[in-house]
Amino acid sequence: MDELDSALVQLVQRDARQTNRELARQLGIAPSTCLERVRSLERRGVIRGYHAEIDNAALNRGVQAFVAVQIRPLSRTVIDSFTEFVAGLPQVVSVFVVAGGDDFLIHVTVQDLDHLHAFLVDRLSRRREIISYRSSVIYQQTHNTVLAALDRP
């Protein structure tokens, strides 16, 4: 990625609803060049999609938590099966396979603490491969919506 691609990616992250003409104007390039660059970024998988950011509370998902999970045996089959199961649950936002003391970190959103408890007891505790889990309620979330490419070593 060159500087123009990086600048384009940052602009699209800030507002993906901008027109091609507006993007081109901000970058000081021709609209045809801008469109070609955007299409190239999409083909190369740099831009993987365009998404709306939704307020969890508006969807009756007022409580967020991280659930750290340990499973056994640690095999590709068990990891893949558990990942597929968890990713298919409506409460789950993201599933991370991690290194360290835990094997998974699961980001969930639910209506309230009672629903979080039900998720843990009714969904997770029934899985035979889980040897332990613990939850951490998220009080506040802040995230970067615009990421820049980092310099390569």
Provide the CATH number for the domain formed by 56-138 in this structure: 3.30.70.920
Which tokens hold the place of 98?
A: 């991690």
- Other Cβ atoms less than 10 A from the Cβ of 26: the count is 14
Residue 103: name the closest of 63, 58, 72, 77 by CA: 72
- Cα separation, 84 vs 95, in Å, equals 9
pLDDT at position 64, please? Answer: 98
Domain 3-43, classified CATH 1.10.10.10, yes or no: yes
Q: Mind listing the pLDDT tens digit for each residue in 114-153?
A: 999 999 999 999 999 999 999 999 999 998 888 888 888 7
pLDDT at position 149, please? Answer: 83
Give the strand pairing for 92-97 and 63-71: unpaired
- Cα separation, 144 vs 149, in Å, equals 13
pLDDT at position 53, please? Answer: 87
> pTM for the complete prediction?
0.85
Where are the domains positioned within the chain? 3-43, 56-138
Which tokens hold the place of 134?
A: 């613990």
Residue ranges, the chain, pLDDT below 70: none
